[in-house]
Amino acid sequence: MTNTALDPAAPLVVDTAELGRSAGATVEVVREVVAPEAFGLEVYRVPESAPLAIDLRLTAVTEGVLANGEVEAPVSGECARCLAPIEDTVRVPVQELYAYEGSVTEETTDADEILRLQGDLLDLEPAVRDALVLAMPVTPLCRPDCPGLCADCGVPWDELPADHRHESVDPRWAALEKLRFVDAEGDDGSK
Ligand SMILES: [Zn+2]
Ligand SMILES: [Zn+2]
């Protein structure tokens, strides 16, 4: 967490002055903004400059401001099994407490545990980024039952006939196969 001063004009910075630090006061924040950077990893991410639909309610509480709602964003990535491109839209819940400067919460927690307001300003970016990244799959798939690629030719199983298989063409393997069959036939005295 940096201590850089927040820019009140930044798309994800919200001025909470109208809440007046009066516990229970609420304000809706409904905005469409552009992702300032890519969130996530190359295999599955919200691309830089993607539109983020922010739909949050900010509620003043004793110790700070609670941000609660949802964010919707496009994601793009690659299927971990068949490497096909994935284009999707995700909608994830956001819930984050921003502590007032000088509040007990601010003084008793580390800066990386709970986000802080700067004066009346709060930055939604870390809350939005965390919500999106936490919801991302460890193994992104184009569909839950994606059969992946044939290990021998690398062609997606979806594009191959059901009876697709590979014969051993390497003569050394062919020789071994022959031996194995001979052995199996010869080893018939066990029963
Ligand atoms: Zn796939
Ligand atoms: Zn194959």
3-state secondary structure the chain: CCCCCCCCCCCCEEECHHHCCCCCCEEEEEEEEECCCCEEECCEEECCCCEEEEEEEEEEECCEEEEEEEEEEEEEEECCCCCCEEEEEEEEEEEEEEECCCCHHHHHCCCCCCEECECCEEECHHHHHHHHHHCCCCCCCCCCCCCCECCCCCCEHHHCCCCCCCCCCCHHHHHHHHHHHHHHHHCCCCC
pLDDT > 90? residue 179: no
| C-alpha of residue 167 to centroid of ligand 2, in Å | 10
Q: Where are the domains of the chain?
A: 13-134
Of the listed ligands, the closest to the CA of 160 is 2
Binned at pLDDT 50, 70 and 90, residue 113 comes out as confident
| C-alpha of residue 76 to centroid of ligand 1, in Å | 13
Instruction: Retrieve residue 96's tokens.
Output: 């984050």
Mean pLDDT of 161-188: 68
- Among the residue ranges 42-46, 59-63, 115-119, 175-179, the one predicted with the least confidence is 175-179
| C-alpha of residue 148 to centroid of ligand 1, in Å | 6
Of the listed ligands, the closest to the CA of 79 is 1
| C-alpha of residue 46 to centroid of ligand 1, in Å | 19
pTM over 0.85: no
| C-alpha of residue 146 to centroid of ligand 1, in Å | 5
